[in-house]
Each structure stands twice: as structure tokens, then as C-alpha cells.
């Protein structure tokens, strides 16, 4: 059965020195506007701040790996 997106918890990221919003977004595989916890000015983030990232999505069915076994004779 597929998991409902609502049941997958959001992730948290703690800002480190040298981080930028675009760098965090790129490394985490999300768009900058999907990151929560950013103040009015997205150019001002501070080390130690905790940002909220969207939950990781499960791989689409087409990308899942399945082991195919040879039938027994």
C-alpha cells in the first residue's frame, strides 16, 4: 500500500555557517520556497536556525528495485 503524504513527517535542517537558502535547497533536493522557518528576508538566515523541509517522497514505483528470481523447475 502507498503511504499518504500527510503521514510522512517534515524534516528539519539546522543552518550552518556558510549556508545559503539556495545551497540548502540544492543539497536537500527541494525548491527554496518549500523551506519553512525563513523570516521575511530569505537572504537572512543564521547559523543555528532550524528550518523545515518538506518530507522526503518515496521513490516512484517505476524507480523501485525488484529482484526477479528464476522459476524453479
Give the tens place of pLDDT for each residue, 9-61: 789 999 999 999 999 999 999 999 999 888 888 788 999 999 999 987 665 65
- Using CA atoms, how far apart are residues 2 and 65, in angstroms rounded to an integer? 16
Q: What is the 3-state secondary structure (H, E, C) of 6-68?
A: HHCCCEEEECCCCCCHHHHHHHHCCCHHHCECCCCCCCCCCCCCEEEECCCCCCCHHHCCCCC
**pTM confidence score:** 0.64
Amino acid at each position: 500500500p502507498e503511504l499518504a503524504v500527510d503521514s510522512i513527517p517534515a524534516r528539519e535542517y539546522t543552518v550552518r555557517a556558510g549556508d545559503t537558502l539556495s545551497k540548502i535547497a540544492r543539497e536537500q533536493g527541494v525548491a527554496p520556497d518549500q523551506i519553512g522557518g525563513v523570516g521575511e528576508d530569505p537572504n537572512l538566515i543564521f547559523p543555528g536556525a532550524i528550518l523545515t523541509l518538506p518530507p522526503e517522497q518515496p521513490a516512484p514505483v517505476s524507480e523501485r528495485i525488484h529482484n526477479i528470481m528464476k522459476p524453479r523447475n
